[in-house]
Chain A
Amino acid sequence: MTFVLFAEQVLNGLQFGIMLFLMAAGLTLIFGVMGLINLAHGSLYMIGAFAAAAVAGATGSFLLALIAALAAAAAAGALVEIVVIRRLYDKDHLDQVLATFALILIFSEGTRWVFGSFPLFLNIPETLSGPVTLPGGIQYPLYRITLIVAGLLVAVGLGLLISRTRIGIQIRAGENDREMIAALGIDISRLYTLVFALGAALAGLAGALVGAIQSVQVGMGEPVLILAFVVIVIGGIGSIKGALIGSLLVGLTDTLGGVFLPQLFKLVMEPSAATNLGSSLASMAIYILMGAVLIWRPTGLFGARA
Chain B
Amino acid sequence: MKTTLKALSTAAVAALAMTAGAAQAEVKVGMITTLSGGGAGLGIDVRDGFMLAIKQSGRTDIEVVIEDDQRKPDVAVQLADKMVQSEKVDVMTGIIWSNLAMAVVPSVTAQGKFYLSPNAGPSALAGRGCHENYFNVAWQNDNLHEAAGAYANSAGYGKSFILAPNYPAGKDALTGYKRFFEGDLAGELYTKLGQTDYAAEIAQIRASGADSVFFFLPGGMGIAFLKQYADSGVDLPVVGPAFSFDQGILQAVGGAALGVVNTSQWNKDIDNATNAAFVDSFQAEYGRLPSLYASQGFDTANLLISAVEKADVSDADAFRAALKAAEFDSTRGDFAFGDNHHPIQNIYAREVIQEGDVFTNKILGVALENHSDAYAGDCKM
Q: Which residue of B lies closest to A2 (CB)?
A: B207
B231: which of A121, A131, A219, A259 is its contact (CB, 8 Å)? A131
Measured CB to CB, the closest approach of chain B to A114, in angstroms, equals 14
Q: Which residue of A lies closest to B207 (CB)?
A: A5
Interface residues on A, range: 35 or more
Say yes or no: A121 contacts B252, CB within 8 Å.
yes
Say yes or no: B231 contacts A215, CB within 8 Å.
no
Q: Is A213 an interface residue (CB 8 A)?
A: yes
Within the assembled complex, what's the spacing in Å between the Cα atoms of A217 and B194?
12
Contact with A along B199-221 (1 / 0, CB 8 A): 11001101100000000000111
Within the assembled complex, what's the spacing in Å between the Cα atoms of A130 and B228?
10
The A111-140 residues at the B interface (CB cut-off 8 A) are 112, 117-121, 123-124, 129-131, 139
Say yes or no: B207 contacts A216, CB within 8 Å.
no
Say yes or no: B252 contacts A215, CB within 8 Å.
yes
Interface of B is mostly: helix
Say yes or no: B38 contacts A131, CB within 8 Å.
no
Say yes or no: A214 contacts B223, CB within 8 Å.
yes
A139 cross-chain contacts in B, Cβ below 8 A = 206, 232-233
Measured CB to CB, the closest approach of chain A to B37, in angstroms, equals 6
Say yes or no: B196 contacts A215, CB within 8 Å.
yes
Q: Is B227 an interface residue (CB 8 A)?
A: yes
Within the assembled complex, what's the spacing in Å between the Cα atoms of A259 and B221?
18
A217 cross-chain contacts in B, Cβ below 8 A = 38, 219-220, 223, 252
Within the assembled complex, what's the spacing in Å between the Cα atoms of A56 and B261?
28
Say yes or no: B252 contacts A12, CB within 8 Å.
no
A123 cross-chain contacts in B, Cβ below 8 A = 227, 254-256
Say yes or no: B44 contacts A119, CB within 8 Å.
no
Using known A-B contacts A131-B231, A259-B204, determine if residue A118 contacts B251 with beta carbons closer than 8 Å: yes
Q: How many A-B residue pairs have CB under 8 A?
A: 125
Q: Is B61 an interface residue (CB 8 A)?
A: no
How many residues on chain B are close to A (CB under 8 Å)? 39
B248 cross-chain contacts in A, Cβ below 8 A = 118-119
Within the assembled complex, what's the spacing in Å between the Cα atoms of A138 and B196?
23
B189 cross-chain contacts in A, Cβ below 8 A = 275, 279
Using known A-B contacts A120-B252, A144-B199, determine if residue A131 contacts B204 with beta carbons closer than 8 Å: no
Say yes or no: A9 contacts B203, CB within 8 Å.
yes
Using known A-B contacts A5-B207, A123-B227, A218-B38, determine if residue A118 contacts B249 with beta carbons closer than 8 Å: yes
Using known A-B contacts A119-B223, A217-B220, determine if residue A275 contacts B188 with beta carbons closer than 8 Å: yes
A280 cross-chain contacts in B, Cβ below 8 A = 166
Within the assembled complex, what's the spacing in Å between the Cα atoms of A196 and B206?
42
A175 cross-chain contacts in B, Cβ below 8 A = none
A272 cross-chain contacts in B, Cβ below 8 A = 188
Measured CB to CB, the closest approach of chain B to A13, in angstroms, equals 8
Say yes or no: B231 contacts A141, CB within 8 Å.
yes
Q: Is B236 an interface residue (CB 8 A)?
A: no
Within the assembled complex, what's the spacing in Å between the Cα atoms of A113 and B290?
20
Say yes or no: A124 contacts B231, CB within 8 Å.
yes
Say yes or no: B196 contacts A214, CB within 8 Å.
yes
Q: Which residue of A lies closest to B227 (CB)?
A: A213
Q: Is A171 an interface residue (CB 8 A)?
A: no
Say yes or no: A143 contacts B36, CB within 8 Å.
no
Say yes or no: A141 contacts B232, CB within 8 Å.
yes
Within the assembled complex, what's the spacing in Å between the Cα atoms of A2 and B209?
13
Within the assembled complex, what's the spacing in Å between the Cα atoms of A8 and B233?
13
Say yes or no: B252 contacts A119, CB within 8 Å.
yes
Using known A-B contacts A118-B252, A279-B166, determine if residue A9 contacts B190 with beta carbons closer than 8 Å: no
Contact with B along A42-58 (1 / 0, CB 8 A): 00000000000000000
A213 cross-chain contacts in B, Cβ below 8 A = 197, 224, 227-228, 231
Q: Is B192 an interface residue (CB 8 A)?
A: yes
A219: which of B37, B191, B200, B206 is its contact (CB, 8 Å)? B37
Q: Is B41 an interface residue (CB 8 A)?
A: yes
Nearest 7 CB-CB pairings of A with B: A131-B233, A215-B223, A119-B252, A215-B220, A12-B199, A214-B224, A117-B40
Show 21 A/B contacts (Cβ-Cβ < 8 Å), sorted by A. Answer: A8-B199, A12-B203, A119-B219, A120-B252, A123-B254, A124-B231, A131-B231, A131-B233, A139-B233, A141-B199, A141-B231, A210-B196, A213-B227, A213-B231, A215-B221, A217-B219, A217-B252, A219-B38, A258-B192, A276-B190, A280-B166
B positions within 8 Å CB-CB of A:
36-38, 40-41, 44, 166, 188-192, 194, 196-197, 199-200, 203-204, 206-207, 219-221, 223-224, 227-228, 231-233, 248-249, 251-256
Using A108-B36, A214-B196, A279-B190 as known contacts, list a sample of 18 further A-B pairs with CB atoms less than 8 Å apart, ordered by residue number in A: A16-B197, A108-B37, A109-B36, A112-B40, A119-B248, A119-B252, A124-B227, A139-B206, A139-B233, A143-B231, A144-B199, A210-B196, A214-B223, A218-B40, A258-B200, A275-B190, A279-B189, A283-B192
